[in-house]
Structure 1
Amino acid sequence: MTDQTTSADPVHAPARTPMRIRARGRSFLALVLSPEAPLDHWLEGLDNQIARSVGFFAGRPVILDLGLVSQDDAGLETLQADLTERGIHMIGIEGASPDWPALAHWVWPAVLDGGRASGTIDFPDGQDDELAASPVAPQRAESLILDRAIRSGQSIMHLDGDIVVTGSVASGAELIAGGSIHVYGALRGRAIAGVGGQPGARIFVARMQAELLAIDGFYMIAEEIDADLHDQSAQALLNEDRVTVTKLP
Protein backbone atom coordinates (compact mmCIF):
# COMPACT_ATOMS: atom_id res chain seq x y z
CA MET A 1 0.00 0.00 0.00
CA THR A 2 1.25 3.44 -0.92
CA ASP A 3 1.37 6.01 1.91
CA GLN A 4 -0.76 9.08 1.21
CA THR A 5 -0.31 12.47 2.79
CA THR A 6 -3.21 14.92 2.90
CA SER A 7 -2.86 18.67 2.45
CA ALA A 8 -3.55 19.09 6.16
CA ASP A 9 -0.38 17.19 7.06
CA PRO A 10 1.65 19.70 9.14
CA VAL A 11 4.91 18.21 7.88
CA HIS A 12 4.23 19.47 4.38
CA ALA A 13 2.27 22.64 5.30
CA PRO A 14 3.74 25.85 3.82
CA ALA A 15 5.84 27.93 6.20
CA ARG A 16 3.86 30.75 7.76
CA THR A 17 5.27 34.24 7.42
CA PRO A 18 5.84 35.74 10.91
CA MET A 19 3.26 38.38 11.72
CA ARG A 20 4.60 41.91 11.91
CA ILE A 21 4.36 43.36 15.43
CA ARG A 22 3.22 46.97 15.59
CA ALA A 23 3.81 49.41 18.45
CA ARG A 24 2.92 53.04 19.03
CA GLY A 25 4.32 55.58 21.43
CA ARG A 26 2.19 57.02 24.19
CA SER A 27 3.23 60.11 26.16
CA PHE A 28 1.79 61.24 29.47
CA LEU A 29 1.37 64.58 31.15
CA ALA A 30 1.18 63.77 34.84
CA LEU A 31 0.74 66.12 37.77
CA VAL A 32 2.90 65.47 40.81
CA LEU A 33 1.29 65.86 44.23
CA SER A 34 3.62 66.11 47.23
CA PRO A 35 1.70 65.72 50.51
CA GLU A 36 3.13 67.26 53.67
CA ALA A 37 2.54 66.64 57.36
CA PRO A 38 0.21 67.11 59.10
CA LEU A 39 -1.74 65.23 56.45
CA ASP A 40 -5.17 66.25 57.73
CA HIS A 41 -4.24 69.90 57.25
CA TRP A 42 -2.81 69.11 53.82
CA LEU A 43 -6.07 67.44 52.80
CA GLU A 44 -7.99 70.51 53.96
CA GLY A 45 -5.78 72.63 51.74
CA LEU A 46 -6.38 70.22 48.86
CA ASP A 47 -10.14 70.42 49.37
CA ASN A 48 -9.92 74.20 49.30
CA GLN A 49 -7.94 74.08 46.06
CA ILE A 50 -10.40 71.65 44.47
CA ALA A 51 -13.30 73.90 45.45
CA ARG A 52 -11.63 76.89 43.77
CA SER A 53 -10.66 74.99 40.62
CA VAL A 54 -13.49 72.54 40.05
CA GLY A 55 -12.57 69.78 37.62
CA PHE A 56 -8.84 70.50 37.65
CA PHE A 57 -7.96 66.91 38.57
CA ALA A 58 -10.72 65.32 36.48
CA GLY A 59 -9.19 62.82 34.09
CA ARG A 60 -5.63 63.93 34.89
CA PRO A 61 -3.02 61.29 35.76
CA VAL A 62 -1.30 62.03 39.06
CA ILE A 63 2.00 60.83 40.50
CA LEU A 64 2.03 60.85 44.30
CA ASP A 65 5.41 61.90 45.70
CA LEU A 66 5.71 60.89 49.37
CA GLY A 67 9.21 62.27 49.75
CA LEU A 68 8.04 64.97 52.19
CA VAL A 69 6.33 62.62 54.66
CA SER A 70 7.60 59.90 56.96
CA GLN A 71 6.18 56.42 57.39
CA ASP A 72 5.00 57.31 60.90
CA ASP A 73 2.91 60.36 59.94
CA ALA A 74 -0.70 60.19 61.10
CA GLY A 75 -3.17 59.70 58.29
CA LEU A 76 -0.72 58.09 55.87
CA GLU A 77 -2.48 54.72 56.03
CA THR A 78 -5.73 56.17 54.63
CA LEU A 79 -4.21 58.80 52.34
CA GLN A 80 -4.62 56.81 49.15
CA ALA A 81 -8.30 56.20 49.89
CA ASP A 82 -8.75 59.86 50.79
CA LEU A 83 -7.33 60.92 47.42
CA THR A 84 -9.37 58.35 45.51
CA GLU A 85 -12.55 59.68 47.14
CA ARG A 86 -11.63 63.12 45.77
CA GLY A 87 -11.45 61.75 42.23
CA ILE A 88 -7.65 61.81 41.99
CA HIS A 89 -6.32 59.09 39.67
CA MET A 90 -2.85 57.93 40.66
CA ILE A 91 -0.67 56.33 37.99
CA GLY A 92 2.45 56.20 40.12
CA ILE A 93 3.82 56.46 43.65
CA GLU A 94 7.35 57.56 44.47
CA GLY A 95 9.38 58.63 47.47
CA ALA A 96 8.20 55.71 49.62
CA SER A 97 8.42 51.93 49.90
CA PRO A 98 5.63 49.33 49.90
CA ASP A 99 7.42 47.89 52.94
CA TRP A 100 6.22 50.79 55.09
CA PRO A 101 3.64 49.36 57.53
CA ALA A 102 1.24 52.25 56.85
CA LEU A 103 1.29 51.40 53.14
CA ALA A 104 0.74 47.66 53.54
CA HIS A 105 -2.82 47.85 52.17
CA TRP A 106 -2.16 50.42 49.44
CA VAL A 107 -2.72 49.48 45.80
CA TRP A 108 0.47 50.29 43.92
CA PRO A 109 -0.30 51.32 40.35
CA ALA A 110 1.18 49.08 37.70
CA VAL A 111 -0.59 50.30 34.55
CA LEU A 112 -0.54 53.76 32.96
CA ASP A 113 -3.91 54.73 31.48
CA GLY A 114 -5.15 57.84 29.73
CA GLY A 115 -2.01 58.68 27.78
CA ARG A 116 -1.91 60.67 24.59
CA ALA A 117 -1.03 58.81 21.37
CA SER A 118 2.19 59.75 19.61
CA GLY A 119 4.18 58.34 16.71
CA THR A 120 5.03 54.81 15.64
CA ILE A 121 7.98 53.04 17.27
CA ASP A 122 10.10 50.59 15.26
CA PHE A 123 11.52 47.56 17.02
CA PRO A 124 15.31 47.20 16.63
CA ASP A 125 16.16 44.17 14.49
CA GLY A 126 19.26 43.30 16.54
CA GLN A 127 21.42 42.89 13.41
CA ASP A 128 23.67 45.87 13.98
CA ASP A 129 24.60 46.32 17.61
CA GLU A 130 27.12 49.03 16.80
CA LEU A 131 24.48 51.09 15.02
CA ALA A 132 22.02 50.60 17.85
CA ALA A 133 24.59 51.79 20.37
CA SER A 134 25.60 54.88 18.39
CA PRO A 135 24.48 58.21 19.85
CA VAL A 136 21.51 59.95 18.26
CA ALA A 137 21.87 63.63 17.44
CA PRO A 138 19.45 65.72 19.51
CA GLN A 139 16.62 67.34 17.57
CA ARG A 140 16.17 71.07 17.66
CA ALA A 141 13.04 72.14 19.53
CA GLU A 142 10.41 73.54 17.17
CA SER A 143 7.67 76.02 17.97
CA LEU A 144 4.08 75.11 17.22
CA ILE A 145 2.45 78.14 15.58
CA LEU A 146 -1.36 78.22 15.44
CA ASP A 147 -2.84 80.92 13.21
CA ARG A 148 -6.32 80.56 14.64
CA ALA A 149 -8.40 80.78 17.76
CA ILE A 150 -8.53 77.79 20.12
CA ARG A 151 -12.11 76.78 20.83
CA SER A 152 -13.58 75.69 24.16
CA GLY A 153 -12.89 72.03 24.87
CA GLN A 154 -9.79 71.86 22.68
CA SER A 155 -6.52 70.67 24.22
CA ILE A 156 -3.31 71.51 22.35
CA MET A 157 -0.18 69.66 23.51
CA HIS A 158 3.33 70.33 22.19
CA LEU A 159 6.08 69.00 24.46
CA ASP A 160 8.99 69.71 22.11
CA GLY A 161 9.04 73.50 22.24
CA ASP A 162 6.94 76.66 22.49
CA ILE A 163 3.30 77.14 21.51
CA VAL A 164 2.38 80.36 19.71
CA VAL A 165 -1.29 81.26 19.20
CA THR A 166 -2.04 84.30 17.06
CA GLY A 167 -5.71 84.27 18.07
CA SER A 168 -7.52 83.89 21.37
CA VAL A 169 -7.90 80.86 23.64
CA ALA A 170 -11.48 80.30 24.78
CA SER A 171 -12.61 79.38 28.27
CA GLY A 172 -12.42 75.61 28.68
CA ALA A 173 -9.54 75.28 26.18
CA GLU A 174 -6.05 74.20 27.19
CA LEU A 175 -2.48 74.74 25.96
CA ILE A 176 0.29 72.41 27.18
CA ALA A 177 3.87 73.16 26.14
CA GLY A 178 7.31 71.84 26.96
CA GLY A 179 8.60 75.39 26.50
CA SER A 180 6.92 78.79 26.74
CA ILE A 181 3.44 79.82 25.61
CA HIS A 182 2.65 82.97 23.61
CA VAL A 183 -0.96 84.09 23.09
CA TYR A 184 -1.45 87.20 20.94
CA GLY A 185 -5.15 87.38 21.74
CA ALA A 186 -7.12 86.83 24.94
CA LEU A 187 -6.24 83.82 27.10
CA ARG A 188 -9.46 82.70 28.78
CA GLY A 189 -8.58 79.03 29.20
CA ARG A 190 -5.64 77.20 30.73
CA ALA A 191 -1.95 77.56 29.87
CA ILE A 192 0.52 74.95 31.16
CA ALA A 193 4.15 75.67 30.24
CA GLY A 194 7.54 74.17 31.10
CA VAL A 195 6.26 70.60 31.14
CA GLY A 196 9.07 68.11 31.71
CA GLY A 197 11.22 70.29 33.95
CA GLN A 198 11.71 73.70 32.35
CA PRO A 199 11.31 76.23 35.19
CA GLY A 200 12.57 79.02 32.95
CA ALA A 201 9.54 78.79 30.66
CA ARG A 202 7.11 81.73 30.59
CA ILE A 203 3.57 82.49 29.50
CA PHE A 204 3.07 85.69 27.48
CA VAL A 205 -0.48 86.94 26.95
CA ALA A 206 -1.87 90.00 25.16
CA ARG A 207 -5.06 89.92 27.25
CA MET A 208 -4.85 88.06 30.55
CA GLN A 209 -8.13 86.35 31.48
CA ALA A 210 -6.73 82.90 32.29
CA GLU A 211 -8.58 80.22 34.22
CA LEU A 212 -5.27 78.61 35.21
CA LEU A 213 -1.56 79.24 34.67
CA ALA A 214 1.08 76.58 35.35
CA ILE A 215 4.85 76.41 34.92
CA ASP A 216 6.97 73.33 35.68
CA GLY A 217 4.22 71.82 37.83
CA PHE A 218 3.45 74.96 39.88
CA TYR A 219 0.13 76.61 39.14
CA MET A 220 -2.04 79.62 39.85
CA ILE A 221 -5.81 79.81 39.37
CA ALA A 222 -7.84 82.79 38.18
CA GLU A 223 -8.77 84.01 41.67
CA GLU A 224 -5.07 84.34 42.57
CA ILE A 225 -4.23 86.64 39.65
CA ASP A 226 -4.14 90.33 40.57
CA ALA A 227 -7.41 91.94 39.48
CA ASP A 228 -5.46 94.91 38.09
CA LEU A 229 -3.94 92.57 35.50
CA HIS A 230 -7.30 91.33 34.19
CA ASP A 231 -7.53 91.82 30.42
CA GLN A 232 -4.06 93.39 30.41
CA SER A 233 -0.91 92.44 28.54
CA ALA A 234 1.01 90.28 31.03
CA GLN A 235 3.50 87.49 31.51
CA ALA A 236 3.66 84.61 33.98
CA LEU A 237 6.97 83.23 35.23
CA LEU A 238 8.25 81.06 38.05
CA ASN A 239 9.81 82.89 40.99
CA GLU A 240 11.03 80.78 43.93
CA ASP A 241 8.61 77.95 43.11
CA ARG A 242 5.66 80.33 42.81
CA VAL A 243 3.91 81.44 39.65
CA THR A 244 4.10 85.23 39.40
CA VAL A 245 2.13 87.37 36.94
CA THR A 246 3.44 90.80 35.97
CA LYS A 247 2.29 93.42 33.50
CA LEU A 248 4.21 93.68 30.25
CA PRO A 249 5.57 97.13 29.35
Structure 2
Amino acid sequence: MRVFQTRFLPLIAVLSLGVLVGCTAAPQGGGINDPYEEVNRSWHETNVALDRSVIKPVSTAYGTVVPDPLRKGLSNVSDTLGIPGTVVNDVLQLRLGDALHNTARFAVNATVGIGGLFDPATGMGLEERDSDFGETLYTWGVGEGAYVVLPVYGPSTERDAFGLIVDIALDPVGNLLGNPEASYKTGLKVADLADTRYRYSDLYESLMYDSADSYTQMRLTYLDNRRYELGTPIVAGEEGADQAATYDIYEDFYE
Protein backbone atom coordinates (compact mmCIF):
# COMPACT_ATOMS: atom_id res chain seq x y z
CA MET A 1 0.00 0.00 0.00
CA ARG A 2 2.81 2.41 0.85
CA VAL A 3 4.51 1.63 -2.47
CA PHE A 4 1.21 2.33 -4.23
CA GLN A 5 0.92 5.69 -2.45
CA THR A 6 4.50 6.65 -3.35
CA ARG A 7 4.00 5.92 -7.03
CA PHE A 8 0.99 8.18 -7.11
CA LEU A 9 2.58 11.17 -5.34
CA PRO A 10 2.83 13.24 -8.56
CA LEU A 11 -0.84 12.53 -9.30
CA ILE A 12 -1.71 13.51 -5.72
CA ALA A 13 -0.06 16.88 -6.20
CA VAL A 14 -1.87 17.56 -9.47
CA LEU A 15 -5.24 16.47 -8.16
CA SER A 16 -4.78 18.44 -4.94
CA LEU A 17 -4.23 21.60 -6.94
CA GLY A 18 -7.23 20.79 -9.14
CA VAL A 19 -9.57 20.27 -6.19
CA LEU A 20 -8.39 23.17 -4.07
CA VAL A 21 -8.27 25.67 -6.92
CA GLY A 22 -10.31 24.42 -9.86
CA CYS A 23 -13.34 22.63 -8.42
CA THR A 24 -16.62 24.37 -9.05
CA ALA A 25 -20.20 23.35 -8.57
CA ALA A 26 -21.80 21.11 -11.18
CA PRO A 27 -23.25 23.19 -14.03
CA GLN A 28 -26.79 24.43 -13.47
CA GLY A 29 -29.39 21.84 -14.38
CA GLY A 30 -26.88 18.98 -14.12
CA GLY A 31 -24.79 19.74 -17.20
CA ILE A 32 -21.38 18.37 -18.11
CA ASN A 33 -18.09 20.13 -17.36
CA ASP A 34 -15.44 18.41 -19.51
CA PRO A 35 -12.67 20.86 -20.43
CA TYR A 36 -10.11 18.02 -20.61
CA GLU A 37 -12.05 15.95 -23.13
CA GLU A 38 -9.12 15.39 -25.50
CA VAL A 39 -6.90 14.03 -22.73
CA ASN A 40 -9.81 12.17 -21.17
CA ARG A 41 -10.62 10.42 -24.44
CA SER A 42 -7.01 9.36 -24.77
CA TRP A 43 -7.03 7.81 -21.29
CA HIS A 44 -10.42 6.23 -22.00
CA GLU A 45 -9.06 4.50 -25.10
CA THR A 46 -6.03 3.34 -23.13
CA ASN A 47 -8.28 1.93 -20.42
CA VAL A 48 -10.43 0.13 -23.00
CA ALA A 49 -7.34 -1.42 -24.55
CA LEU A 50 -6.08 -2.45 -21.10
CA ASP A 51 -9.44 -4.00 -20.31
CA ARG A 52 -9.44 -6.03 -23.54
CA SER A 53 -5.87 -7.27 -23.17
CA VAL A 54 -5.51 -7.76 -19.40
CA ILE A 55 -8.48 -7.03 -17.14
CA LYS A 56 -11.13 -9.00 -19.05
CA PRO A 57 -8.99 -12.16 -19.46
CA VAL A 58 -7.90 -12.07 -15.81
CA SER A 59 -11.42 -11.50 -14.47
CA THR A 60 -12.81 -14.23 -16.75
CA ALA A 61 -10.18 -16.69 -15.55
CA TYR A 62 -10.82 -15.72 -11.92
CA GLY A 63 -14.58 -16.09 -12.30
CA THR A 64 -14.25 -19.40 -14.13
CA VAL A 65 -11.67 -21.09 -11.90
CA VAL A 66 -12.63 -19.81 -8.42
CA PRO A 67 -16.00 -21.08 -7.14
CA ASP A 68 -18.70 -18.48 -6.64
CA PRO A 69 -19.02 -18.96 -2.83
CA LEU A 70 -15.28 -18.41 -2.39
CA ARG A 71 -15.30 -15.33 -4.63
CA LYS A 72 -18.22 -13.93 -2.66
CA GLY A 73 -16.45 -14.66 0.61
CA LEU A 74 -13.25 -12.90 -0.47
CA SER A 75 -15.28 -9.91 -1.62
CA ASN A 76 -16.98 -9.85 1.77
CA VAL A 77 -13.61 -9.77 3.51
CA SER A 78 -12.48 -6.89 1.30
CA ASP A 79 -15.68 -4.99 2.02
CA THR A 80 -15.31 -5.57 5.77
CA LEU A 81 -11.73 -4.29 5.77
CA GLY A 82 -12.97 -1.14 4.05
CA ILE A 83 -15.58 -0.31 6.71
CA PRO A 84 -13.21 1.57 9.09
CA GLY A 85 -12.45 4.02 6.27
CA THR A 86 -16.18 4.52 5.79
CA VAL A 87 -16.57 5.23 9.52
CA VAL A 88 -13.88 7.92 9.29
CA ASN A 89 -15.85 9.63 6.50
CA ASP A 90 -19.11 9.26 8.45
CA VAL A 91 -17.51 11.13 11.36
CA LEU A 92 -16.06 13.82 9.08
CA GLN A 93 -19.57 14.32 7.65
CA LEU A 94 -21.02 14.44 11.21
CA ARG A 95 -23.22 11.46 10.38
CA LEU A 96 -22.70 9.90 13.78
CA GLY A 97 -25.65 7.53 13.41
CA ASP A 98 -24.08 6.04 10.29
CA ALA A 99 -20.71 5.90 12.05
CA LEU A 100 -22.19 3.82 14.88
CA HIS A 101 -24.12 1.67 12.39
CA ASN A 102 -21.01 0.90 10.35
CA THR A 103 -18.90 0.30 13.46
CA ALA A 104 -21.44 -2.28 14.61
CA ARG A 105 -21.49 -3.83 11.13
CA PHE A 106 -17.70 -4.14 11.20
CA ALA A 107 -17.71 -5.70 14.68
CA VAL A 108 -20.33 -8.30 13.75
CA ASN A 109 -18.80 -9.33 10.43
CA ALA A 110 -15.23 -9.35 11.79
CA THR A 111 -16.23 -11.71 14.64
CA VAL A 112 -19.41 -13.68 13.92
CA GLY A 113 -18.68 -13.42 10.19
CA ILE A 114 -15.23 -14.99 10.67
CA GLY A 115 -13.10 -12.05 9.64
CA GLY A 116 -15.68 -10.83 7.15
CA LEU A 117 -15.86 -14.05 5.16
CA PHE A 118 -19.61 -14.05 5.78
CA ASP A 119 -22.08 -11.17 6.16
CA PRO A 120 -24.39 -11.89 9.12
CA ALA A 121 -24.63 -8.15 9.83
CA THR A 122 -26.99 -7.53 6.91
CA GLY A 123 -29.41 -10.15 8.23
CA MET A 124 -29.33 -8.35 11.60
CA GLY A 125 -30.40 -5.05 10.02
CA LEU A 126 -26.88 -3.67 9.76
CA GLU A 127 -26.92 -3.21 5.98
CA GLU A 128 -24.07 -1.61 4.07
CA ARG A 129 -23.97 2.20 4.24
CA ASP A 130 -21.05 3.19 2.08
CA SER A 131 -19.32 6.56 1.93
CA ASP A 132 -16.03 8.03 0.74
CA PHE A 133 -13.95 11.19 0.96
CA GLY A 134 -15.42 12.48 -2.29
CA GLU A 135 -18.79 12.53 -0.52
CA THR A 136 -17.12 14.16 2.49
CA LEU A 137 -15.84 16.95 0.24
CA TYR A 138 -19.34 17.33 -1.21
CA THR A 139 -20.73 17.64 2.33
CA TRP A 140 -18.16 20.34 3.06
CA GLY A 141 -19.35 22.29 0.03
CA VAL A 142 -16.54 21.47 -2.42
CA GLY A 143 -17.76 21.61 -6.01
CA GLU A 144 -17.75 18.66 -8.39
CA GLY A 145 -15.11 20.14 -10.65
CA ALA A 146 -14.34 18.90 -14.13
CA TYR A 147 -14.95 15.39 -15.39
CA VAL A 148 -11.72 13.38 -15.58
CA VAL A 149 -10.72 9.88 -16.67
CA LEU A 150 -8.10 8.27 -14.45
CA PRO A 151 -5.62 5.65 -15.67
CA VAL A 152 -6.99 2.13 -14.99
CA TYR A 153 -9.63 3.42 -12.52
CA GLY A 154 -11.72 5.13 -15.18
CA PRO A 155 -14.38 7.87 -14.94
CA SER A 156 -14.28 10.36 -12.09
CA THR A 157 -14.38 14.08 -11.32
CA GLU A 158 -11.73 16.34 -9.85
CA ARG A 159 -13.43 16.16 -6.47
CA ASP A 160 -13.87 12.37 -6.50
CA ALA A 161 -10.36 11.78 -7.85
CA PHE A 162 -8.87 13.73 -4.96
CA GLY A 163 -11.21 11.90 -2.60
CA LEU A 164 -9.98 8.56 -3.93
CA ILE A 165 -6.36 9.50 -3.20
CA VAL A 166 -7.24 10.62 0.34
CA ASP A 167 -9.19 7.43 1.01
CA ILE A 168 -6.15 5.38 -0.03
CA ALA A 169 -3.71 7.48 1.99
CA LEU A 170 -5.84 7.60 5.16
CA ASP A 171 -7.14 4.01 5.08
CA PRO A 172 -7.07 3.02 8.80
CA VAL A 173 -6.65 -0.72 8.23
CA GLY A 174 -4.03 -0.27 5.51
CA ASN A 175 -1.98 2.04 7.71
CA LEU A 176 -2.15 -0.29 10.71
CA LEU A 177 -1.10 -3.39 8.81
CA GLY A 178 2.56 -4.03 8.20
CA ASN A 179 4.11 -6.01 5.38
CA PRO A 180 3.15 -8.45 4.01
CA GLU A 181 -0.34 -8.05 5.54
CA ALA A 182 -0.96 -4.75 3.72
CA SER A 183 -0.32 -6.45 0.38
CA TYR A 184 -2.89 -9.11 1.30
CA LYS A 185 -5.50 -6.39 1.75
CA THR A 186 -4.60 -4.96 -1.66
CA GLY A 187 -4.86 -8.44 -3.15
CA LEU A 188 -8.34 -8.88 -1.69
CA LYS A 189 -9.42 -5.59 -3.22
CA VAL A 190 -8.10 -6.65 -6.63
CA ALA A 191 -9.98 -9.96 -6.29
CA ASP A 192 -13.16 -8.04 -5.41
CA LEU A 193 -12.79 -5.84 -8.49
CA ALA A 194 -12.12 -8.88 -10.68
CA ASP A 195 -15.25 -10.56 -9.32
CA THR A 196 -17.35 -7.44 -10.01
CA ARG A 197 -15.94 -7.22 -13.54
CA TYR A 198 -16.82 -10.87 -14.11
CA ARG A 199 -20.33 -10.68 -12.63
CA TYR A 200 -21.31 -7.63 -14.68
CA SER A 201 -19.29 -8.38 -17.79
CA ASP A 202 -22.27 -8.17 -20.16
CA LEU A 203 -23.38 -4.77 -18.88
CA TYR A 204 -19.84 -3.42 -18.72
CA GLU A 205 -18.93 -4.57 -22.20
CA SER A 206 -22.17 -3.24 -23.68
CA LEU A 207 -21.06 0.19 -22.46
CA MET A 208 -17.35 -0.12 -23.22
CA TYR A 209 -17.37 -2.08 -26.48
CA ASP A 210 -20.80 -1.82 -28.09
CA SER A 211 -21.71 1.85 -27.65
CA ALA A 212 -21.42 4.11 -30.67
CA ASP A 213 -19.41 6.49 -28.47
CA SER A 214 -18.33 4.61 -25.35
CA TYR A 215 -16.57 7.67 -23.93
CA THR A 216 -19.76 9.74 -23.93
CA GLN A 217 -21.81 6.83 -22.59
CA MET A 218 -19.39 6.13 -19.72
CA ARG A 219 -19.25 9.82 -18.85
CA LEU A 220 -23.06 10.01 -18.70
CA THR A 221 -23.27 6.78 -16.72
CA TYR A 222 -20.76 7.90 -14.13
CA LEU A 223 -22.09 11.44 -13.65
CA ASP A 224 -25.73 10.33 -13.46
CA ASN A 225 -24.92 7.63 -10.92
CA ARG A 226 -22.69 9.79 -8.76
CA ARG A 227 -25.07 12.73 -8.73
CA TYR A 228 -27.93 10.37 -7.88
CA GLU A 229 -25.92 9.09 -4.89
CA LEU A 230 -25.24 12.61 -3.65
CA GLY A 231 -28.71 13.96 -4.39
CA THR A 232 -27.51 16.53 -6.93
CA PRO A 233 -28.94 17.22 -10.43
CA ILE A 234 -28.36 14.47 -12.97
CA VAL A 235 -27.25 15.26 -16.52
CA ALA A 236 -29.94 17.40 -18.09
CA GLY A 237 -31.43 16.86 -21.52
CA GLU A 238 -30.55 13.17 -21.79
CA GLU A 239 -32.97 10.36 -22.50
CA GLY A 240 -33.93 8.58 -19.27
CA ALA A 241 -33.07 11.54 -17.05
CA ASP A 242 -36.50 11.66 -15.38
CA GLN A 243 -36.35 7.98 -14.43
CA ALA A 244 -32.80 8.27 -13.12
CA ALA A 245 -33.87 11.07 -10.80
CA THR A 246 -35.98 8.63 -8.79
CA TYR A 247 -34.17 5.33 -9.37
CA ASP A 248 -30.49 4.51 -9.52
CA ILE A 249 -30.35 2.92 -12.98
CA TYR A 250 -26.66 2.05 -12.57
CA GLU A 251 -26.85 0.54 -9.06
CA ASP A 252 -25.93 -2.98 -10.15
CA PHE A 253 -23.03 -1.80 -12.29
CA TYR A 254 -21.35 0.23 -9.56
CA GLU A 255 -22.29 -1.68 -6.39
Q: What's the TM-score bracket when you normalise by the shorter of the two chains?
A: under 0.3
Higher strand share: 1
Higher helix share: 2
Larger Rg computed on CA atoms? 1
Q: Tell me the TM-score normalised to structure 1 length.
A: 0.21
